[in-house]
Amino acid sequence: MSDTHNERATLHDVARVAGVSLATVDRVLHDRGGVRSRTIERVQSVVERLGYRPDPAAARLARKSVARLAFVLPSGTNTFVDMLDKQVQAVAPWLAEQRASAVVQRADVFSPEALARDLAALRGRCDAAVVMGLDHPRVRAAIDDLVTHGVVVVTLVSDVPASRRSRFVGIENVTAGRTAATLLGRFVGPRAGSVGIVLGSRALRDHAERLFGFEQVMGTEHAHLKLLPPIEGHDLSQRTEPLVTKLLQRTPDLVGLYSIGAGNRGIQAALERSGRAEHIVWICHELTPHARQALLTGVADAVINQDAGHEVRSACRLALAALSGERVLPDQERIRIDIFLRDNMP
Amino acid sequence: MSDTHNERATLHDVARVAGVSLATVDRVLHDRGGVRSRTIERVQSVVERLGYRPDPAAARLARKSVARLAFVLPSGTNTFVDMLDKQVQAVAPWLAEQRASAVVQRADVFSPEALARDLAALRGRCDAAVVMGLDHPRVRAAIDDLVTHGVVVVTLVSDVPASRRSRFVGIENVTAGRTAATLLGRFVGPRAGSVGIVLGSRALRDHAERLFGFEQVMGTEHAHLKLLPPIEGHDLSQRTEPLVTKLLQRTPDLVGLYSIGAGNRGIQAALERSGRAEHIVWICHELTPHARQALLTGVADAVINQDAGHEVRSACRLALAALSGERVLPDQERIRIDIFLRDNMP
DNA sequence: CTGAAAGCGCTAACAC
DNA sequence: GTGTTAGCGCTTTCAG
């Protein structure tokens, strides 16, 4: 007989082989402390040798407490954020089965101070925090502080890579920007002209990264198109609409428009009112009901999307896995850069 | 107090309220028979009233037997099929945790008789079958026969809609064809010319559906392009390569090529040898390593994909859910029509 | 510091 | 036909 058994090793096996009790193995596994370091080593070596993996079903069943997840999402009127919010409500029954619960909190994401304060307030009130926020030293510090106090932090949509968050759930935004550029360039075709860019704020990491990827590909692959300086619309339709209207007026040769962030209703209105929507390739992000409409009417030519449902489920799975040491299937957690045309909308 | 409790109802609760034992409730829930019909009704009404849902974790833990899944995939040298095969191996550890196991069987999918025979042989040898096969009366009958004998059947990639299969896991292929047409039409742009089509066989439902969707959009939206009669390459590179080479020779104005099925290595080779790859927009399906390469070198312009990993996991989840009555999240099981350009490959 | 024992909610054998 | 009971593999008191 070899050391690799056909049957999975159980806690009992580990305890027996290590010559200790179930409770001690459990203490070591969840480092709850109160175990001699020699014992710890012995148990760990047995765990290793037996290739022990806890059975998640059994763990869930036995667990008394529920894991508390807190989602921190931007306040305001962003439709995509509302979709995320709804998806959190939608996973509630599933979470309950996993002995977990989730609440959503809205925070002023454009203000590092406010966000940092809200994050600090989470300490002790949740076991894991899923945060969509801006990449700023204050925010990074707040995240690190949470992690120090044992809270699992997962960043969502927009990463804070320098922080000690355990995971990021979202798309690769540089790649998304490159994808937008390729689509826009190919859709415009051989025509010459200018291309406009609208973003929420350069302080948002996802926006900055998309811009970077977009400019990269436009510069090298579609150099005959002239990139106009980006416009900042703060993700608000009331601000993007007049800005884009002015852009249209002063740029008669506009052939393409890339909208990096939110505020797409304003852009759509401006494009439609100008009567030039047909001749301008417009690419935006996130398949909200409005974007869907714009795609159907032909005002938008492509929408690059990240699946809100997938992101929320993934964030939950990763947070719970980090809390309980469960296995994750990395493949399943990769968020895709979805491209939607009029034809392949779900 | 109302009937809706905060706490989930358990089997115990149902048994107590219905005034029967655990075993009886279990019998009713899994209709194992041997229960008076009056008792059955009473139990069922209590289940309803209490909103009882079995706890999947507890069920999995208690279950002695393992559910046996059998995947039936096409034999031959199709790379995408190999990817599915690998994904089945990859979920094995997860399946083991769910008290389930999976085996892969290869069958001659182009022969209804052979496929039907292989399906019949599955009876009694598995609890659920995941089948990728062609839509043919013989195959349909074989599936129905399995279902009659208590086997859960899930179709994969190519559906057999008239059968009694419990679910289909795959993309909407008409929509996929439409998507291909939109991409091809927009990438070709204002140029005039002919568009070629290569498929495996019209007898494969997914191929027929893609063709339908493609022709639909090409005819209405890109009518200036001339659609050539489709070529059948039986999903084999040895056959597609000479066919496409001939197509290229006799069609000097070829501006686009849509390859609906497999055999893409042959098409790629033909395109490259012709020296006209740059001027022909080529769109194909499934992001295999070769397709990826073709996209990188620019020979392919877009790849429409269905995620093999997602499909396999989804098929497993649906089969297990059908066997155990667990809840499914429909959202999570929707297979997306992925569009890959050079820039957004995973 | 360590161990024993009581469940979690279900399945499945076995009794009546 | 129906009930009783012993686990599944873990977590979590509560005793030492």
pLDDT in tens, B258-274: 999 999 999 999 999 99
Enumerate the domain spans of chain B.
11-53, 66-170+308-335, 173-305
pLDDT in tens, B127-176: 999 999 889 999 999 999 999 999 999 999 999 999 999 999 999 999 99
pLDDT of residue B214 exceeding 80, the answer is yes
pLDDT at A32: 86
Asked if strand D comes closer than 7 Å to A329 Cβ, the answer is no
More confident residue, B326 or A180: A180
3-state DSSP: chain A helix, strand, coil percent, rounded to 5?
A: 50, 15, 35
In this complex, the nucleotide whose C1' atom is nearest to the CA atom of residue A22 is C3
Instruction: Count the residues in chain B.
Output: 346
pLDDT at B77: 84
Whole-number percent of chain B with pLDDT over 70: 98
Whole-number percent of chain A with pLDDT over 70: 98
**C-alpha dist (Å) from residue B218 to A120, A300, B197:** 56, 20, 12
Interface-testing mutation among A303, A314, A344, with chain B (most B C-beta atoms within 10 A): A344
pLDDT at B6: 59
In this complex, the nucleotide whose C1' atom is nearest to the CA atom of residue A52 is D9
CB contact (8 A) between residue A190 and residue B189: yes
pLDDT in tens, B13-26: 999 999 999 999 99
Read off φ and ψ for residue A64, nearest 5 degrees. -90, -50
Classify residue A255 by burial, with Cβ atoms within 10 Å: 0-12, 13-18, 19+.
buried
Asked if strand D comes closer than 7 Å to B19 Cβ, the answer is yes
pLDDT in tens, B240-253: 999 999 999 999 99
Read off φ and ψ for residue B330, nearest 5 degrees. -55, -40
Bridge partners (DSSP) of residue B195 are: B227, B256
Among the listed ranges A247-251, B84-88, B108-112, which one has the minimum average pLDDT value?
B108-112
In this complex, the nucleotide whose C1' atom is nearest to the CA atom of residue B53 is C9
Q: Give me the residue from A90, A93, A341 closest to B182, CB to CB.
A: A341
CB count, 10 Å around CB of A69? 25
Token pair of B245, please?
A: 């080479």
Contact B154, B319 (CB under 8 A): yes
Query: What average pLDDT does the structure give for chain B?
Result: 94
Token pair of B220, please?
A: 């209405």
pLDDT at B76: 85
For B341, nearest residue in chain A (alpha carbons): A179
pLDDT at A185: 97
Per DSSP, the residues of A56-108 read HHHHHHH--SPEEEEEEEE-SS-HHHHHHHHHHHHHHHHHHHTTEEEEEEEE-
For B181, nearest residue in chain A (alpha carbons): A343
Gap from B259 CA to D11 C1', Å: 56
Residues of A in contact with B179 (CB under 8 A): 341, 343-344
pLDDT of residue B1 exceeding 60, the answer is no
Per DSSP, the residues of A272-326 read HHHT-GGGSEEEEES--HHHHHHHHHTS-SEEEE--HHHHHHHHHHHHHHHHHT-
pLDDT at B3: 40
Sign of CA dihedral B229, B235, B236, B237: positive
Query: Which CATH superfamily does the domain covering A66-170+308-335 fall into?
Result: Response regulator (3.40.50.2300)
Residues of B in contact with A57 (CB under 8 A): 56-58, 60-61, 97
Asked if strand D comes closer than 7 Å to B92 Cβ, the answer is no
Q: Which of residues 21-50 of B touch strand C (CB under 7 A)?
A: 22-23, 26, 29-30
Asked if strand D comes closer than 7 Å to B153 Cβ, the answer is no
Q: Give me the residue from A90, A181, A344 closest to B175, CB to CB.
A: A344
**C-alpha dist (Å) from residue B19 to B5, B11, B14, B30, B42:** 19, 12, 8, 18, 9
Among the listed ranges A138-147, A318-327, B215-224, which one has the minimum average pLDDT value?
A318-327
Residues of A in contact with B95 (CB under 8 A): none
Gap from A123 CA to C5 C1', Å: 35
pLDDT of residue A324 exceeding 90, the answer is no
Residue whose tokens read 């304003």 = A266
Token pair of A271, please?
A: 């494009």
Smallest CA–C1' distance to D2, residue? B24
Return the CATH fold of B173-305: Rossmann fold (3.40.50)
pLDDT at B327: 82
pLDDT at A4: 42
Chain-centre distance for alpha carbon B115: 17
Question: At A134, is the pLDDT very low, low, confident or very high (cuts 50, 70, 90)?
Answer: confident
Query: What average pLDDT does the structure give for chain A?
Result: 94
pLDDT at A6: 58
User: Which nucleotides in chain D have some atom under 7 angstroms from a protein Cβ?
Assistant: 1-14
| Threshold 0.75, pTM exceeds | yes
Q: Which of residues 11-50 of A touch strand D (CB under 7 A)?
A: 11-12, 22-23, 26, 29-30
CB contact (8 A) between residue A94 and residue B343: no
Please determine, looking at this structure, whether the domain spanning B11-53 carries the CATH number 1.10.260.40: yes
Gap from B31 CA to D1 C1', Å: 14
Bridge partners (DSSP) of residue B259 are: B198, B284
